Amino acid sequence: MVQVDVTYEGGLRARAVHGPSGCELVTDAPVDNHGKGESFSPTDLVASALGACMLTLVGIVSERHGWSVEGAKARVSKEMVADPIRRIGRLEVVISLPCELGEKERELLRKAALTCPVHKSLSAEMDIPVSFEFEG
């Protein structure tokens, strides 16, 4: 179990402290929702978590097989919807992998990314298209 303690600091800003490491992050409401947009919004963290999680799973499989994927990137584009309630409507993910691998190896990395626990935890109401770009 991991504990994260979050404190509301006022002005639509919150500070989260990761229990095991003590690392901190600050969120701010976005400008389009009454905030200053001076940091990640809570929904931006969902998008960030998805990209980081997918790359982590790609990294785990790559290390297991001795493949280098250093420099791999995930670009996550978040779109909000307001009807019937304000929520994330779409998270489009493009994963770019700087590696020369055959189709069998590429398919293993695609499957690994799609088993990410964050991806599996998100609402079925959310549109989450995922594409892969292999360089080399």
Q: What is the pLDDT of residues 65-75, one digit of tens each?
A: 999 999 999 99
* Domain range for 64: 42-134
- pLDDT above 90 covers a percentage of the chain that reads 91
Task: Please give the torsion angle defined by the CA atoms of residues 21, 22, 28 and 30, in that order, rounded to the nearest 10 degrees.
Answer: 0
Q: Is residue 120 scored above 90 in pLDDT?
A: yes
pLDDT value at position 51? Answer: 98
pLDDT value at position 135? Answer: 84
Q: Are residues 110 and 59 in the same domain?
A: yes
The CA–CA distances, whole Å, from 118 to 35, 54, 128, 135 equal 26, 8, 12, 25
pLDDT value at position 7? Answer: 98
Task: Please give the torsion angle defined by the CA atoms of residues 9, 88, 53 and 111, in that order, rounded to the nearest 10 degrees.
Answer: 170
Spatial strand order in the sheet of 13-18: 4-10, 13-18, 24-28
Strand 13-18 with 4-10, pairing: antiparallel
Give the pLDDT band (50/70/90) at residue 18: very high
For range 35-49, the mean pLDDT: 96
Q: Are residues 28 and 95 in the same domain?
A: no
The CA–CA distances, whole Å, from 45 to 41, 80, 87, 102 equal 6, 13, 13, 33
Give the pLDDT band (50/70/90) at residue 45: very high
130: β partners = 93
Task: For residue 89, give both structure tokens.
Answer: 């409507």
Task: For residue 81, give both structure tokens.
Answer: 């919807």
Q: Chain-wide mean pLDDT for the chain? A: 95
Q: Are residues 69 and 118 in the same domain?
A: yes
Q: Are residues 10 and 55 in the same domain?
A: no
Q: Is residue 122 scored above 90 in pLDDT?
A: yes
Q: How many domains, the chain?
A: 2
Q: Are residues 54 and 71 in the same domain?
A: yes
Q: Are residues 60 and 99 in the same domain?
A: yes
Phi/psi at 15 (5° precision): -120, 130
Q: Are residues 12 and 47 in the same domain?
A: no
Q: Is residue 49 scored above 90 in pLDDT?
A: yes
